[in-house]
Structure 1
Amino acid sequence: MKIGSIELEGTPLFLAPMEDVTYKSFRHICKQNGVDVLYTEFVSSEALIRDVEKTRLKMELEDDDRPIAIQIYGYDIESMANAARIAEELQPDFIDINFGCPMKKIVKKGACSALLQDLPKMQQMAAEVVKSVSLPVTAKTRLGWDENNKVILEAAERLQDIGISALAIHGRTRSQLYTGDADWTMIGEVKNSPKIKIPIIGNGDINGPEKAAELLKQTGVDGLMIGRGAIGRPWIFNEIKHYLKTGEFLQPPTVAEIIAQIKDQLRVTADWKGNETTAILMMRRHFARYFPGIDNFRDHRIKMLQATQIEDLDKIMQDIVELYGDLRVDYTNVSLK
């Protein structure tokens, strides 16, 4: 598939943009594990225009990130166009518009998935962003506002008409938030509509290689996007690629191999933030998702989540390696909920 002039071979795998997750060090570790396309955390157009430092930091890009998109969101069309121009100056490979985030604090301002209730405004906003930059522009959205208003096919046609280069679709409505099961039937309907010519990327509930293969066969989408399934399991991208290519499963990683990845991610985070405690706090969401299903592991996890210094965390991780190092960790039945 292509996004503008970006050529992506086979079925490319995308790391979904996630607030407080897809920052620099997590992108680094996912890239090490086979992801093809990355996104920054989503950034507010209003904060970007005001040059808020925290927002700027979210858009710091590294050479090994590429290809990567800066994802922006907002409710005001002019602000979104201005934000896209500012983002373009940081030289991502493309700009992505967030039309999918369902969180109340954002939706109540009329941004993200709120625009699924106003498709003409969604289309106008996307059109102005496309006109404001020379980079390709993509979008990410949901099936619709609620069960009675699944407007994704019309939304896709409208966005294609004004020049959106690719569309990622999460298989839930806004009202579902992240509950229930993702519905890939409508994603397939969009992909296979004779009116749709742009690449369609499917997203939602991909929790392993078999699920990825099943959904790809069901829908024929051009790419697969993984979000929560990569937290605590960044090697999921290599697992999926290997399975799609060979039909065979990679061996699960050992505890020692996982600890090595955690240390790498922690090192990059600490170097970036320049503060051990801040780095550890940022990593806690990831610590909570590693090592599922290991007997008698709860106390070790608690110690990891309570540590505030890297020296202390290193000792905890060394103890874990000594106790469990050769044990392979099976993620097969891990829930994303």
Structure 2
Amino acid sequence: MDEEERAKGSSVSGVVAADQTPEQLVSRAIAPVKKKFLRPPPVRSSAPDDDVSIPTENNNYVLAMETKSKRQLKRERLEGQKSAQNLCPEIAKTGDVSSCPYKDKCRSSHDLEGFMAQKPSDLEGECPFVKYGVSCPYGIACRFLNTHEGGVPSGDRNGLENSSEVNGLRKDTQRLLWKNKMNFSKADAKLKSLGLLGRSKSKRNDLENKEGVDTGSNKYDHSDDSGSCVVTSDSGSKLDCPAEDRKSKSDELCPLKRRKTKENCGPKESENEGVTEKIVERRCTESEADAIVPETDLSLKLHSREKKLIDFRRKLYLAPLTTVGNLPFRRVCKVLGADVTCGEMAMCANLLEGQASEWALLRRHSSEDLFGVQICGAYPNIVARTVELIEQECTVDFIDINMGCPIDIVVNRGAGSALLTKPMRMKGIVEAASGTVDKPITIKVRTAYFEGKNRIDSLIADIGSWGASAVTIHGRSRQQRYSKLANWDYVYECAKKAPTTLPVVGNGDVFSFVDWNKHRTECPELATDMIARGALVKPWIFTEIKEQRHWDISSGERLNILKDFVNFGLEHWGSDTKGVERTRRFLLEWLSYCCRYIPVGLLDVVPQRLNWRPPSYYGRDELETLMASDSAADWIRISEMLLGKVPDGFTFAPKHKSNAYDRAENG
């Protein structure tokens, strides 16, 4: 539902809420706010609908995001690299123009005076690095430069150790991924044993696919005067082997051949009749030798039931949340009581290509004591190689495979919810992944692809035998997306059919400790609940569940939570201008969910349900009223309270067009 429809729905709700009882409002999925807090809907001007700019004293905040082509973005990025705003990091650290080792070849600007002239004013507060007693890595580019004066204080360094992050992508690994030279011996061996290896990526296959050569009838001529190997097909065409595989010595064999015969030997060898059927051992490179896995290695692999399992029972599990479930947000949830955290969904193909932006989704903070990463892929070979790479490069407690993502761009590639229509491919992915690594493999699914055609109950008995250590069931189909309430009765049915060795985690619409307790009572077989949008709207839900109370949190306490997020964001994304604005962007994405929270003290019926549409209402103070606004301009004003004024020309529109407030009949 877009912003216009939401605003229209809120206005209608504001009119209706004053004339109906709380029970009637709840039946229509409208939040029963106490009448004394209700306010009439705002009077809309007669301006055209497409005029969505909001005037302020300094600037116009355009809510519609301007779309640009990739070529335009690349041109602007290259131009921005040489602008005074993009100061060389080495010069920023030292303040010395001659400190950059690349000199004139550096891609960044060396105009120190120009940078200081255009640098925005410093922000209030303390540098997040200096407060831990270490040197700020951003130097004069830091937006808290005034706190750097007098040198770095000799503070307690334990604070820095507690804020450390791991799971970064090493440069040497990234180069191997870029060049497609990474060794996946475990994954390939497991895929081969399952018959899922598929077509090899060797040069032989590339040659066959490109030229249509039939290897069964090819002939290899090594008697050419140049010493090169020539491949002759049945059609009579001749193809040279790749340059690096050419052999000038007659005692070495073409890499596409296994047996020496009289026809393919050199002149000297053909004189010796004894070599006609001589078997010659193929010479391997070091990388190829490392890829050879003895058959005994497969028999020594741990069975899925012998792996170290994770006890999810009754633990508060923060779901992997795209865009908003970043590391600073997870730190906020850990402070508020979350037990298990999981990184944002990362695409396997992008990880295998060494994309730094995708690898950033795997970052882990030291406070996340039980942490997993979530990946998404369409085929067993891609997923198996990804889990091997993650186990080798990252420190994680479990790896979750997403088989329920409803996003079109994911489903159209055969991943996410598309796998629900292909159970044999699901089986291959789980078996290959669990047989490749020792880390527990969990999966996340939806009830079905199409509404009314649930199928997980028929697969739940097999999922554990495939090798999964746990399964999370979102109580909606792919077709539903996030409309209607989650079907928890079906989740209970699946949990009761699951083997005792397979923990089942439920997911959908958990928004209070009442929901949590209900699921524990009605289905003791359920291991725990995964909390997703409920944590986005009110991250203190973890505290409410642990303390078994409805927390009537004040606007000041909510602002302090936002301050914690900002501090964590500056540590993670940086304290320079780029880091500040990136922190602001993610803060605004989160605020687009936070505005849906209705304070406990304003409701006639407690607790709030996730599908309730809030009417237009006043808060108990100005800040609470501001936090209830669904206007992007008001979210920006909140960000300015924490991160200073936005830059000129700043625009914002939420990435996600959520339909959490669907029509009442979907309630």
TM-score bracket relative to the smaller structure:
0.7 to 0.9
Q: 2:424 aligns with which of 120, 124, 136?
A: 120
Partner of 1:273: 573
**Aligned with residue 109 of structure 1, among 404, 407, 413:** 413
For 1:30, what is the secondary structure of its paired residue?
helix
Q: Following TM superposition, by how much is the alpha carbon of 1:313 offset from its aligned partner in structure 2, in angstroms?
A: 3.3
Question: How far apart, CA to CA, are the structure 1 residues paired with 2:421 and 2:636?
Answer: 43
Distance across 2 between alignment mates of 1:53 and 1:314: 26
Partner of 2:458: 154
Larger RCO (CA under 8 A, 6+ residues apart): 2
The CA distance in 1 between the partners of 2:582 and 2:547, in whole Å, is 35
Paired position in structure 2 for 1:40 = 343
SS of the residue 1:192 aligns to: helix
Answering whether residue 473 of structure 2 is matched by residue 143 of structure 1, we say no
* Other-structure match for 1:323: none
Task: Report how far residue 270 of structure 1 moved.
Answer: 2.0
2-structure distance, mates of 1:49, 1:312: 40
2:258 equivalent to 1:258: no
Contact 2:461 2:498 in 1 (8 A): no
**Alpha-carbon distance in 1 for matches of 2:437, 2:534:** 32
Whole-Å separation in 1 of the counterparts to 2:330 and 2:380? 29
CA-CA distance at 1:10 after TM superposition: 5.4
Answer yes or no: is the 8 Å Cα contact 2:402–2:416 preserved in 1: yes
3-state DSSP of counterpart to 2:375: strand
Paired with 1:300 and 1:11, the residues of 2 have a C-alpha distance of 32
List aligned pairs for 1:290-301, cutoff 5 A.
290=594, 292-293=597-598, 295=618, 297-298=625-626, 301=629
Which of 296, 300, 305 is the aligned partner of 2:635?
305
Q: Give the deviation of 1:131 after TM superposition.
A: 1.1
Determine helix, strand or coil for the equivalent of 2:571. Answer: helix
Structure 1 residues 199 and 259: alpha-carbon distance in aligned structure 2, compared to 1, 3 A threshold: same
Q: 1:216 aligns to what?
A: 520
In 2, the alpha carbon distance for the partners of 1:194 and 1:201 equals: 11
Q: What CA deviation, in whole Å up to 9, does each residue of 1:125-158 have, x standing for no partner?
A: 1110111111011111011112342111233222
CA RMSD of aligned residues (A): 2.4
TM-score, normalised with respect to structure 2: 0.44
Counterpart for residue 327 of structure 1? none
Counterpart residue type for residue 591 of structure 2: F
Report if the CA contact (8 A) 1:156-1:196 is conserved: no
Which deviates more, 264-273 or 296-305?
296-305
Distance in 1 of aligned mates of 2:640 and 2:346: 33
Q: Secondary structure at the match of 1:41?
A: strand
Aligned to 2:474: 170
Segments of 5+ residues of structure 1 without an aligned counterpart are 244-248, 317-334
Which blocks of at least 5 consecutive residues in structure 2 are unaligned?
Answer: 1-304, 599-616, 620-624, 646-658, 662-667
Amino acid at match of 1:234: P
Give 1:105 deviation, angstroms: 1.1
CA distance in 1, matches of 2:306, 2:566: 32
Paired residues for 1:13-24 under 5 Å: 13-24=316-327
For the residues of structure 1 that align with 2:375 and 2:332, how far apart are their CA atoms? Answer: 23
Retained in 2: the 8 A contact 1:84–1:132? Answer: yes
Secondary structure of the corresponding residue to residue 569 of structure 2:
helix
* 1:169-213 per-position Cα deviation (integer Å, ceiling 9, x unaligned): 000111111111100111111111264531110000111111121
Aligned partner of 1:80: which letter?
V
CA contact (8 A) 2:403 2:445 kept: yes
Amino acid at match of 2:618: D
In the alignment, is the contact (CA less than 8 A) between 2:404 and 2:478 conserved in 1?
A: yes
CA distance in 1, matches of 2:306, 2:527: 11
Aligned partners of 2:464 and 2:499 also within 8 Å: no
When residues 175 and 313 of structure 1 are mapped into structure 2, their CA distance, relative to the original with a 3 A threshold, is same
Count how many residue pairs are aligned between Structure 1 and Structure 2. Answer: 312
Between 293-302 and 225-234, the greater mean CA deviation after superposition = 293-302
Equivalent position of 2:533 in the other structure: 228
| Kept after mapping to 2: 8 A contact 1:172/1:178 | yes
Name the CA shift for 1:285/1:53 in 2 (closer, same or farther; >3 Å). Answer: same
Superposed CA offset, 1:75-119 (max 9, x none): 122111111112222111011100111111110111011010010
TM-score (norm 1): 0.86
Structure 1 residue aligned with 2:9: none
Larger Rg belongs to: 2
Q: Is the 8 A contact 1:205 1:336 kept in 2?
A: no
Alpha-carbon distance between aligned partners in 2 of 1:20 and 1:181, rounded to the nearest angstrom: 23
On the 8 A contact 2:483/2:660 being kept in 1, the answer is no
